[in-house]
A and B are shown apart, each in its own frame.
Chain A
Amino acid sequence: MTILGTAFGMAFYLLHSVSGESGYAQNDFKRTHLFASLKLQICSSPGDLEDAEPDDYSFSCYSQLEVNGSQHSLTCALDDPDVNSTNLEFEICGALLEVNCLNLNKLQDMYFIRTKKFLLIGDSEICVKLGQKSITCKIMNIVKIVKPEPPFDLRVVYREGANDFLVTFNTSHLKKIYVKDLLHDVAYRQEKNENNWMNVNLSSTKLALLQRKLQSGAMYEVKVRSIPDGNYFEGYWSAWSPSYHFRTPETNGTGKMDPVLQTVSILSFFSVALLVILTCVLWKKRIKPIVWPNLPDHKKTLEQLCKKPKKNLNVSFNPESFLDCQIHKVDGIQARDEVENFLQGTFPPPLEESEKQKLVGGVQGTSWPSEHAVLTPETFRGDSPLRCLPGNVRACNIHELPSSRSPNCRDDGKNWSRVYQGLLLSPGTTNGALLPPFPFQSEIVTLNPVPQGQPILTSLGSSQEEAYVTMSSFSKISEL
């Protein structure tokens, strides 16, 4: 308006200079000029028009390819919603098939078009037109302003075996031919934390969220959106998909064990405990003899044969302390033939216990003739000295048994009777030779403390029959 006023003023001055000679014209001209200048002043005074800024017709657009079959869409909108959009039109020219330009249709505050005629190569010009006049234009490339369709069918599944949450969703772009490759943004948060969104970018439609990274027993919200991957097709983020809500399972402090695993672990514990107890109990009697068997020891075996002496064992070499024991003296040793004859008549094999006792008793009670040598099993013991025949005895070695023997002579006689019987019945005597209870003519049984397992009779003389005391018979004896 200022410029217009100035132009008018200059025009009036020019007119004045051209026709300034006429008097009455001068007055009229002056009056008109004054009026014009006043008008100019009025017009140029500060008002709404001068300070009024031009309408902002800036706009933005986005495209969606194959939104309906093979049809594409273009949507534009003015950035300033307050702009009077009456009679405004949008037009796109360039990069079109068969036509030069296309007009967009108006829908409320937006302008859009749906067409197949986008070439998808090269730039287009989009203009805002008021009538036939273009107000503002922008150069855009349809493939650089692509806005994908939002994903859908968002689901979250808890996988107990993997201890994670599998997030899956679908997108319509998987079936399209142009914009197939998208970048997805999965956002999730705990519902009580309103603005604490966690984002994960991925190119596939599946995502696994680890359970340990989420809080147990909490409600979560998840949503997803997409954008072109940038390889030729570019653009904007799509709208968010509908949210999906899920709850994470509760987890105990120690963790819930599988009941089968729990049962197996309890049974295993008790089995191991029972095994340990049985091992401790049966170690000495059953397990150790098998694992670490004891080697045969003659001394121990001998000790086992004989009873342990009583505590009040009275060991003495004083003959007066053995006054209670019956001492049978050996008056002499009878000749062998007589002994054999005697034996054949009185000792049938096998000897019975009772007969042997009688024999022993007989030997004890009766007094043999001095010519006869009587050697009872008792005499082997040494509690009573052997009766040696003064005549025929070559050697008469009397060895007392160790002091472990008790002065109770009768009790030990039983043991010796058993020993004697065992010796009689030993395999070494299979030839039928019986071990005579009496020594042979020339030898007297010597009693020496021998190791366990070895035969007590060290020599049997040069008799025809020799009896062998084997280790096996001895071990049998030790078992007794």
Chain B
Amino acid sequence: MITLAYSYLMLDLVSFRYIFGIPPLILVLLPAASSDCDIEGRKGNEYEKVLMISINRLDNVIEIGSNCPTNESNFLKKHSCDDNKEAMFLYRAARKLKQFLKMNISEDFNLHLLIVSEGTLKLLNCTGKVKERKAPSQGEGQPIKNLEENKLLKEQKKWNDLCFLRRLLEKMKTCWNKILRGAKDP
């Protein structure tokens, strides 16, 4: 009886492992392997008539010249507009744009930033949720020395953010052109 009960217990444990172990693993791995975005604006009208206009407006607002650092940001190192990954890249980039609303540069700036972000997400029509890694905050653990240094750091950060924004918008334009070119040349 005891042996029988033990065998049953072991069987249950094995079943338990297979039932409760592997599927969650599969569920976790699936979003990273598959893309749930369906690009609707492949004809290019929405991009040319709305998104591109707003991207150009943002470029005009970002007047930082060509003094941006040449090294690529971490975000762009991790995400790129590779083949069959264009939609995912645009999806992540569009969500990233919303973080720049906090800069609060101007009302017109925020308006066009939202148009690019929301418009891209609308056209991509992604069904699955993509987990975004929370970007490590820089300088949270560092104590603020004085007001002047704080101000300088803020300026430096703003400048870095604008450089990153401009770089991000360029990548988005390139990726959209790649999508539209692929749609024209089957």
| B34 within 8 A of partner (CB) | no
What is the total number of residues of chain B having a CB less than 8 Å from a CB of chain A?
17
Interface mask (B171-183 → A, CB under 8 Å = 1, otherwise 0):
0000000000000
Tell me, yes or no, whether B38 is within 8 Å of chain A by CB.
Answer: no
Say yes or no for B62: interface residue by CB 8 A criterion. no
Find out whether the CB atom of A70 lies under 8 angstroms from the CB atom of B111: yes
- Give every chain A residue within 8 A of B118 (Cβ-Cβ): 97, 119, 121
A120 touches B114 (CB 8 A): no
In the complex, A178→B111 CA distance in Å? Answer: 15
When the two chains form their complex, are residues B49 and A116 in contact, meaning their CB atoms are under 8 A apart? no
A111 beta carbon closer than 8 Å to chain B: no
**How far apart are A281's CB and chain B's nearest CB, in angstroms?**
84
> Is the pair A232, B45 in contact by a Cβ cutoff of 8 Å?
yes
Interface of B is mostly: helix
Most buried by A among B48, B57, B119, B123: B119
Contact A232–B46 (Cβ < 8 Å):
yes
B111–A97 CB distance below 8 A: yes
Q: Classify chain A: how many residues form its interface, as a range.
A: 10 to 19
* Residue B10 is within 8 A (CB to CB) of chain A in the complex: no
- Give bound CA distance, A70 to B53, whole Å: 13
Complex-state Cα separation, A269 to B122, whole angstroms: 82
Q: Is the CB of B122 within 8 A of A121?
A: yes
B25-52 interface (Cβ within 8 A of A): 41, 45-46, 48-51
Number of cross-chain contacts by CB at 8 Å? 39
A251 interface residue (CB < 8 Å to B): no
CB B168 to nearest CB in A, in angstroms, measures: 19
CA distance A314 to B13 in the complex (A): 175
| In-complex Cβ contact of A119 among B45, B49, B119 (8 A) | B119
With the chains together, A233 CA to B122 CA distance in Å?
18
Q: Is the CB of B46 within 8 A of A121?
A: yes
Check if A231 is an interface residue, CB within 8 A of chain B: yes
| Contact in complex: B122, A122 (CB < 8 Å) | yes
Does A266 sit at the interface, judged by CB under 8 A?
no
| Distance between Cα atoms of A75 and B122 in the complex (Å) | 24
Q: How far is the CA of A119 from the CA of B111 in the complex (A)?
A: 10
Task: Say yes or no: is A282 at the interface (Cβ < 8 Å to chain B).
Answer: no
In the complex with contacts A95-B122, A232-B45, A232-B49, A119-B115 CB distance below 8 A: yes
Closest Cβ neighbor of B57 among chain A residues: A177
Most buried by A among B45, B49, B50, B57: B49
A120 close to B111 (CB less than 8 A): no
Contact with B along A91-134 (1 / 0, CB 8 A): 00001011000000000000000001001111000000000000
Interface assignment of B161: CB less than 8 Å from any CB of chain A: no
Query: Across the interface, which residues of B come within 8 angstroms of A178, CB to CB?
Result: 49-50, 53
Query: Quick one: which of A95, A98, A177 contacts B53, CB cutoff 8 A?
Result: A177
Residue of A nearest to B114 (CB): A97
Contact pattern, A 165-182, Cβ under 8 Å of B = 1, otherwise 0: 000000000000110000
Q: Is the Cβ of A231 less than 8 Å from the Cβ of B50?
A: no
Give which listed residue, B49, B51, B108, B114, contacts A98 with CB less than 8 A: B114
Given the complex, which residues of B lie within 8 Å of A177, measured CB to CB?
53, 57
B48: A residues at CB distance < 8 A: 232
Considering the chains assembled together, what is the distance between the CA atoms of A379 and B45 in angstroms? 125
**Within residues 131 to 179 of chain A, which ones have a CB less than 8 A from any CB in chain B?**
143, 177-178
Report Cα–Cα, A120/B119, bound state, in Å: 8
Tell whether A119 pairs with B122 under 8 Å between CB atoms, given A97-B114, A231-B45, A232-B46. Answer: yes
Query: Can you spell out 9 A-B residue pairs with CB atoms less than 8 angstroms apart?
Result: A120-B49, A120-B115, A120-B119, A122-B122, A177-B53, A177-B57, A178-B50, A178-B53, A232-B46
Apart from A121-B50, A121-B119, list 8 A-B contacts with CB within 8 A.
A97-B111, A120-B119, A121-B51, A143-B49, A177-B53, A232-B46, A232-B48, A233-B49
Q: Which 6 A-B pairs have the closest CB atoms?
A: A232-B45, A232-B49, A121-B119, A97-B114, A122-B122, A120-B50
